[in-house]
Amino acid sequence: MDYLRQFWVVSVKDLRAEFRTKEAINASLAFALVILVLFSFAFDAADLEEAAMNEISGGLLWIAFAFAGTLVLNRSFVRELPNDCLDGLIAAPISRSALFLGKAFANFALVLAVEMISLPVFGIFYHVRWASQFPELLLVLVLGTWGVTVIGTITSALTVNIKLREVMLPMLTYPILVPALMSAMQLTTRLMAGEAIGADTGMWLKMLIGFDVIYTSVSLILIEVVLIG
Amino acid sequence: MSAVAVEGVWKFFGDYPALRDVKLAAAPGACLALIGRNGAGKTTLLRILAGFSRPGRGEVRIFGGGPRETETRRRIGFLGHGISVYDELSALENLTLFARLYHLPEPERAAREWLERTGLTRVANGLVREFSRGMRQRLAVARAFLHEPSVLLLDEPFTALDDKAIAVLQGLLRGALADGKTIVMSTHQLREALELASDVALLSRGQVAFHGPRTPEMVADPGYVYARYGEG
Amino acid sequence: MPAAKMLFLYAPAGFAAMLGFVVAVAASVLFLRTKALRFDTLAASATEVGLVLLTANIVAGVVWSRAAHAVWWTWDPAIASALVCALVYASYLMLRRAVEEPSQRAASCAVWSIFCFLDAPIVVVAVYRWRSQHPHPALWADLPAGWPAPLAWSTAGMFALAALLLAVRLRQGTARREQDLQRRMGHTI
């Protein structure tokens, strides 16, 4: 129970600090919307057949989510730099994995919020019916976003002391996320096209879950080394 | 049992030894002033004591436990160069947060009490971002003392403090010593530190050049230890 | 078919690259256990050698693809997953250059090396599954008779090349550490 309490205190702290300034979430939301708008100029959504539109919907959405998400995730440990606040957290008698999990969860909530706002906008711009299988879509969003969040949070911790942090982070996070993003894109495309998650697509779901489990475990184990050395 | 024991500690940055075979101890209730030139390793040693980094060789113990253990960290109060409080939160929110992290039974009450002891009650709900420098430093002190730590680790605490903050801090440190707490303090402000210190250690290029009780000669001439044991 | 003989370059380079990455992750884990910097140097050298060989693998694949199928890139699952893995390990090398302090660099890179290594099999499985949904010309299908033996020899030769490159890099890395230490010592006098 102590662990949960510590996790919750850290999570609430991050969320409260973010809602005071709203810097990251505003930038992230704006970025997601800009990507969606920009893409719609590449082709005319009205002219595109529904089948073709469905093919690209998964890819487009997750590119928007991944790119906009990193704006939130990058700040995760960077927000502890001013005033040496990270020292205060490391000195505190809390488990480092609870610290990591608390931050990851706060990030997750923020990125998921951006995604939930972007979805209706996407539906409107591209004439896509995204709500047809909403519970399954929500599951994919949750699993995919958690994968992106875990990698984004751990890389934020890894790069917190680096000068070229902003430049480094995209190069670190995106390649390693390829399997997770690929799975999320495939699942999202199928769900938006109205297909149920069957034996065929079930394997993507398993891959996504596997990715999440593996990287969450490894991050929880290694966070102490990352923070203290 | 020593309150603070440093046993044969080496710290490497790459292959370079920043601390070499450092052996120090502070008895419970002692106030150890850690002096030395810039780059001697004072901050490195304090950060190892506080658990922010690990020694390459050797061990540190705080009341017998290592700083990696949660129980031990509960007993340590650290005041470093940064104030370690959040600009976007209010003074009260900051202290309540740390009270919760340190598992105090009544977090908000403890937070308010320490706001009062550091003279910040009036600005309890103000955001730290808007505080003056002296107020920020007093809040940092409140954060360090909040959970009644048995061992206080202070890295150049008097540097860049205004008079009011120095007075508050000295009062709190005297009170802590009277309560039997242990203090390890690195400093350039020899006069303020030597008034409180019971023991002095001089670090020179990562090694302990001198470690012993504070003597009247040191109080009379703060530069005495440097002249006698340092490189001048 | 002459272009198919690119296999003797393509496959061994890929296997040797995998060997390099296995050595790298083993060295990283050893570093985390012992905190001895020589393991960090080994991990970095092994990753560099692995990435060079993986690049050779991809280039061989591109040349082969052009010769055999008249297109530069076929999204064959082997070469596509090689490309993603190359990007992942390139990120490791970028991280190495970005952290200046050697102990911090060693610790961060050891962690990241483990992350990269765990990703490789997941990437391979993902890309193969993705491609199984959309058939495209593959680089090669079956191994003709008489090819396994030369392939094994080529692979052994490539392993030897990898070991040589690793030894050279390791020597350079160790000398560099010596230099850095001398320089740092010099500053404090």
Of B80, B97, B103, the CB nearest to A93: B103
Tell if the CB–CB gap between C104 and A168 is shorter than 8 Å.
Answer: no
What's the CA gap between A86 and A156, in Å, rounded? Answer: 13
**Residue B111 covered by a domain:** no
Q: What is the DSSP letter of C22?
A: H
Do A181 and A141 meet the contact criterion of CB atoms below 8 Å apart?
A: no
Show Cβ contacts of residue B156 under 8 Å, excluding neighbours closer than 6 positions.
B43, B81, B186, B187, B188, B189
Quick one: pLDDT at residue C189? 60
CB pairs < 8 Å spanning A and C: 79
How deeply is B70 buried, as exposed, middle or buried, from its count of CB atoms within 10 A (0-12, 13-18, 19+)? Answer: middle
Quick one: pLDDT at residue B68? 87
Q: Nearest-5° angle of CA A58, CA A64, CA A68? A: 145
pLDDT tens digits for C98-112? 998 999 999 999 999
Number of domains within chain C: 1
User: What is the 3-class SS of C60-77, one letter each residue?
Assistant: HHHHHHHHHHCCCCCCCH
pLDDT tens digits for C141-169? 667 778 888 889 999 999 999 999 999 99
A160 shares contact with chain B (CB less than 8 Å): no
For the complex shown, is ipTM > 0.95?
A: no
Do B76 and B149 meet the contact criterion of CB atoms below 8 Å apart?
A: yes
A59 shares contact with chain C (CB less than 8 Å): no
What's the CA gap between C117 and C22, in Å, rounded? Answer: 8
Show Cβ contacts of residue B214 under 8 Å, excluding neighbours closer than 6 positions.
B33, B194, B197, B198, B199, B200
What's the CA gap between B55 and B23, in Å, rounded? Answer: 13
pLDDT tens digits for A209-229? 999 999 999 999 999 999 997
**Helices A50-78 and A134-158 meet at what angle, rounded to 10?**
40
**Residue of C81, C83, C88, C93 best to disrupt the A interface, most CBs of A under 10 A:** C88
Show Cβ contacts of residue B116 under 8 Å, excluding neighbours closer than 6 positions.
none
**Helices A199-228 and A165-192 meet at what angle, rounded to 10?**
160
Q: Is the pLDDT of residue C185 over 90?
A: no
How far from A156 is each of A74, A80, A81, A148, A220, CA to CA, in Å? 5, 11, 12, 12, 14
Quick one: pLDDT at residue A45? 62
Percentage of chain C modeled with pLDDT above 90: 68
Tokens 């539109």, residue located: A53
pLDDT tens digits for A182-213? 999 999 998 888 888 777 788 999 999 999 99
Report residues of chain B scoring pLDDT below 50.
232
Do A3 and A95 meet the contact criterion of CB atoms below 8 Å apart?
A: yes
Show Cβ contacts of residue B73 under 8 Å, excluding neighbours closer than 6 positions.
A91, A92, A93, B51, B67
Give me the count of residues in chain B: 232
Structural domain for C106, as ranges: 8-136+150-188
Q: What is the DSSP letter of A194?
A: T
Q: Is the pLDDT of residue A144 over 50?
A: yes
Quick one: pLDDT at residue A128? 83
Q: Which residue of A has its CA nearest to C34?
A: A229
Number of domains within chain B: 1
A163 shares contact with chain B (CB less than 8 Å): no
Do A160 and A227 meet the contact criterion of CB atoms below 8 Å apart?
A: no
DSSP-derived pairing of the beta strands B207-213 and B76-79: unpaired
**Helices C77-98 and C102-132 meet at what angle, rounded to 10?**
160
Tell if the CB–CB gap between C91 and A204 is shorter than 8 Å.
Answer: no
What's the CA gap between A78 and A12, in Å, rounded? Answer: 17
Quick one: pLDDT at residue A224? 94
Tell if the CB–CB gap between C184 and B16 is shorter than 8 Å.
Answer: yes
Q: What is the DSSP letter of C143?
A: P
Which amino acid is residue A19, in one-letter code?
F
Q: Is the pLDDT of residue C2 over 80?
A: no
Percentage of chain A modeled with pLDDT above 90: 71
How far from A19 is each of A117, B87, B88, CA to CA, in Å? 16, 13, 10
The rounded mean pLDDT for chain C is 91
Tell if the CB–CB gap between A229 and B53 is shorter than 8 Å.
Answer: yes
Q: Is the pLDDT of residue C95 over 90?
A: yes
Quick one: pLDDT at residue A194? 80
Chain C interface, Cβ < 8 Å to B: 35, 37, 101-103, 177-178, 180-181, 184-185, 188
Q: Which of A9-13, A179-183, B216-220, C124-128 has the lowest mean pLDDT?
A: B216-220
Structural domain for B25, as ranges: 1-75+151-162+183-232
**Residue C36 covered by a domain:** yes
Quick one: pLDDT at residue A52? 79
What's the CA gap between A176 and C36, in Å, rounded? Answer: 27
Which token pair is B123?
């600005």
Quick one: pLDDT at residue B97? 96
Quick one: pLDDT at residue C186? 83
Task: Report residue A66's pLDDT band, with 50, 70 and 90 as the boundaries.
Answer: very high
Strand partners, B26: B4
Tell if the CB–CB gap between B93 and A92 is shorter than 8 Å.
Answer: no
- In chain C, alpha helices (H): 7-34, 37-69, 77-98, 102-132, 148-188
Q: Which residue of B has its CA nearest to C174?
A: B15
Quick one: pLDDT at residue A115? 96
Q: Is the pLDDT of residue A11 over 80?
A: yes
Q: Which of A96-105, B123-132, C136-145 has the lowest mean pLDDT?
A: C136-145
| Shortest Cα–Cα distance, C176 to chain A (Å) | 21
Show Cβ contacts of residue A81 under 8 Å, excluding neighbours closer than 6 positions.
A160
Q: What is the mean pLDDT of residues C74-101?
A: 94
Q: Which residues of chain B make contact with C103, given a CB cutoff of 8 A?
A: 12-14
**Residue C143 covered by a domain:** no
Query: Domain of B191: which CATH number?
Result: 3.40.50.300
Which token pair is B193?
């530190």
Which token pair is B105?
């039974």
Show Cβ contacts of residue B132 under 8 Å, excluding neighbours closer than 6 positions.
none
Residue A145 or residue A191, greater confidence: A145
The set of chains that have 3 or more CB pairs under 8 A with A is B, C
| Shortest Cα–Cα distance, B82 to chain A (Å) | 5
How far from B121 is each of A165, B212, C119, C124, CA to CA, in Å? 39, 40, 52, 60
What's the CA gap between A217 and B47, in Å, rounded? Answer: 28
Task: Report residue C1's pLDDT band, with 50, 70 and 90 as the boundaries.
Answer: low
What's the CA gap between B110 and B108, in Å, rounded? Answer: 5
DSSP-derived pairing of the beta strands B151-155 and B76-79: parallel
Which token pair is C32?
């985390």
Tell if the CB–CB gap between A204 and C115 is shorter than 8 Å.
Answer: no
Quick one: pLDDT at residue B232? 46
Quick one: pLDDT at residue B111? 96
How deeply is A142 buried, as exposed, middle or buried, from its count of CB atoms within 10 A (0-12, 13-18, 19+)? Answer: middle
Task: Report residue C52's pLDDT band, with 50, 70 and 90 as the boundaries.
Answer: very high
Q: Which residues of chain A make contact with B78, given a CB cutoff of 8 A?
A: 87, 91
**Helices C102-132 and A165-192 meet at what angle, rounded to 10?**
20
Interface of A with B in 92-131 (CB under 8 A): 92-95
Work out the number of other CB atoms within 10 angstroms of the CB of residue B165: 22
Which amino acid is residue A72, in one-letter code?
V
DSSP letter string, chain B: --SEEEEEEEEEETTEEEEEEEEEEE-TT-EEEEE--TTSSHHHHHHHHHTSS--SEEEEEETTB-TTSHHHHHTEEEE-SS----TTSBHHHHHHHHHHHTT-SSHHHHHHHHHHHTT-GGGTTSBGGG--HHHHHHHHHHHHHTT--SEEEEESTTTT--HHHHHHHHHHHHHHHHTT-EEEEE-S-HHHHHHH-SEEEEEETTEEEEEEE--HHHHH-TTHHHHHHS--
Tell if the CB–CB gap between A207 and C122 is shorter than 8 Å.
Answer: yes
The set of chains that have 3 or more CB pairs under 8 A with C is A, B
Which of C107, C48, B45 has its CA nearest to residue A157?
Answer: C107
Do B161 and B141 meet the contact criterion of CB atoms below 8 Å apart?
A: no
Tell if the CB–CB gap between A91 and B143 is shorter than 8 Å.
Answer: no
Of A175, A214, A225, the CB nearest to C118: A214
